[in-house]
Homo-oligomer: A and B are copies of this chain.
Amino acid sequence: MIGSNSGRTIVMAHRNNQSSFSEISPSEFFYRNRDLAGFSNPAKALYTATRELVENSLDACESTATLPKISVKIRYSEEERHEQDPRTYVITVQDNGNGIDPRQAPNAFGKVFYGSKYRLKQARGMFGMGGTMAILYGQITTSKPVTITTSTDGREFHTFRLLIDIQNNKPIILSRSTRRGVGSSGTSVEMLLHGDFFRASAKIRDYFRQTALVTPYAEITFIDPQGRLWYFPQTTKTVPKAPIETKPHPHGFDFEAMRRLLKQTDESSFPKLLMNEFHRVGKQTARNFLTFAKFDLRTDPRKISNEETVRLVDAMHQFDGFLPPDSNCLSPLGTEILKAGIVSELQPEFYSIAIRPPAAYSGYPFIVEVALAYGGKVIGEGVRLYRFANRVPLLYDEASDVAGQVVSELLDRRAYNIPREAPLAVITHVCSTKIPYKSVGKEFLAERPELEKELKNGLRETLRQLKSYLSRKGSIEAVQRRKNIYGKYLPLIAQFSQSLSGAKRPPKYQGLIKDYDDELAIKVEQIAKTKKRTEGQI
């Protein structure tokens, strides 16, 4: 037995020693590991595919500051062989965005790691692969091609039918056609996939509702498989300014990026290079920094050694004379949208909003907005958390999100005198030229310390406002209680005194009660001021 056993081991060792290494394409990688991109099961896949296509559409509109009109339809496939979920669905998403250059369209939809999102610019899409992953998933579950129609000018409409060659990560164009017409620019995508609407419907509706909440300038129409129409009207015509591409901030610029920059540049002046290539670096800052980093101002940056490059990058991370990132390239929700969303959706008794000043992590600027809603129609025990990142609602994996962690760590009801059962909702929005998602499925944000700090400060701010509101409210209630007691007993005492003393009229006690009315009026006014103040920027 021992012989045979060890013999077997040797045979296997030999077999395994043949190093069978292989290379796979990016499409192949995500085809094999679809859980990474949010396609774990038919319900999640239907949700993720819908979401990715809608986000591409919204980005396409907002990149040119167009008021978005998005229409989404999910229906049963006619060729369906199953009566029950999971089954084959057809998703159609149409927008009035800027359209896609017909030369780029096949690659944009049929090639992983090919896209327009690889820039320092606020956008919902982050990895440039969501649409392609949805199409890839549709193809492997239904074998059907995707149909894309796009126009950049509203006059020429290009239609493609595509499959993805997964092994080689490139599109296979089955047919293409062009027709002329009169309409608007935009893109329409129609694809089939194996999904489970029964299990996904609640999340999909939540997704649309929350998207509408933070995109009131968009008109979204969603027709579900039962033919029900979900209409989210445009409630404002103010479209946010289109996001601007920005230069990298010197903090967080890494060695690899610096090496590339020095290799590519034609600039021989060190100060000028810094001024041209970095975010908010002026002449004086460039000079101060170079002195700090112990470089001669006349050094030709193209000629510095590897070790000097390391020293340069190192100094960049330590120099505290750089200006903080400018929020011009960011598009936060702002008080108006947050307020409108909270009031319409939660109708709370009290809310407070904190919009934090711009900060940066690894050189990427970001803004954190936190809102807190208390009482009213806020439902349920515990804390309801609504998370958004670049206006995308995040509905999964809350506990792993940095915002989820900050809320569960900071929200100590006793410390803020919040009643134990009182319903609370926290809304967080992070906007950045780069959202630090922890998964390709874009469900939750990494614990970047800078982000954590801003979320904590924002939440603390709103909690303090709530505490102050609750304490004022408590003191109003105390005055009210006292007033009620006096109001009830003073007349009796007065009457009793009158009959006891035989006086003609009871003593005047009304003034005492009126004092309480005055005190109440003052406190109510104070509380109104608190409410007013918390609506503004803090």
Against B, the Cβ 8 Å flags (1 = close, 0 = not) of A83-109 are 000000000000000101100100110
**Which of A13, A22, A257, A436 neighbours the largest number of chain B CB atoms within 10 Å of its CB?**
A22
Asked if A344 is at the interface of the complex by the 8 Å CB criterion, the answer is no
Interface of chain A residues 28 through 73 with chain B (CB within 8 A): 28-29, 31-33, 35-36, 40-41, 44, 63-66
CB pair A127 B242 closer than 8 Å = no
Asked if A244 is at the interface of the complex by the 8 Å CB criterion, the answer is yes
> A199 — nearest CB in chain B belongs to which residue?
B449
CB pair B397 A13 closer than 8 Å = no
Against B, the Cβ 8 Å flags (1 = close, 0 = not) of A282-324 are 0000000000000000000000001001100010000000000
CB pair B255 A436 closer than 8 Å = no
Against B, the Cβ 8 Å flags (1 = close, 0 = not) of A7-19 are 0010011001101
Against B, the Cβ 8 Å flags (1 = close, 0 = not) of A152-164 are 1000000000000
> A20 — nearest CB in chain B belongs to which residue?
B116
> A26 — nearest CB in chain B belongs to which residue?
B26
CB pair B439 A36 closer than 8 Å = yes
Stretch at the interface among A139-147, A217-225, A411-419, A486-494: A139-147
Q: Count copies of this chain in the complex.
A: 2
Question: Among the listed B81, B127, B397, which residue makes an inter-chain contact with A400, where contact means beta carbons less than 8 Å apart?
Answer: B397
State the CA gap A236–B364 with chains docked (Å).
51
Asked if A464 is at the interface of the complex by the 8 Å CB criterion, the answer is no
Given contacts A9-B242, A17-B152, A141-B255, contact A40 B448 (CB under 8 A): yes
Asked if A262 is at the interface of the complex by the 8 Å CB criterion, the answer is no
State the CA gap A118–B167 with chains docked (Å).
13
State the CA gap A66–B6 with chains docked (Å).
11
**Smallest beta-carbon distance A245→chain B, Å:** 9
Given contacts A13-B98, A16-B64, contact A113 B26 (CB under 8 A): yes
Question: Among the listed B35, B306, B436, which residue makes an inter-chain contact with A437, where contact means beta carbons less than 8 Å apart?
Answer: B35
**Smallest beta-carbon distance A349→chain B, Å:** 30
Asked if A202 is at the interface of the complex by the 8 Å CB criterion, the answer is no
Q: Which residues of B contact A400 (CB under 8 A)?
A: 397, 399-400, 444
Asked if A166 is at the interface of the complex by the 8 Å CB criterion, the answer is yes
CB pair A127 B29 closer than 8 Å = yes
Interface of chain A residues 167 through 221 with chain B (CB within 8 A): 167
CB pair B143 A306 closer than 8 Å = yes
CB pair A13 B242 closer than 8 Å = yes
CB pair B448 A256 closer than 8 Å = no
Asked if A254 is at the interface of the complex by the 8 Å CB criterion, the answer is yes
> A126 — nearest CB in chain B belongs to which residue?
B33
Q: Which residues of B contact A440 (CB under 8 A)?
A: 36, 439-440
CB pair A256 B31 closer than 8 Å = yes
**Smallest beta-carbon distance A361→chain B, Å:** 9
Given contacts A20-B119, A142-B310, A143-B259, 15 further A-B contacts (CB under 8 A): A21-B104, A21-B107, A21-B116, A22-B116, A23-B113, A26-B113, A35-B436, A35-B437, A36-B437, A36-B438, A140-B254, A140-B257, A141-B254, A438-B439, A440-B440
In the complex, the 7 A-B pairs of residues with the closest C-beta atoms, listed nearest first:
A399-B399, A13-B64, A40-B446, A19-B101, A140-B256, A35-B446, A400-B400
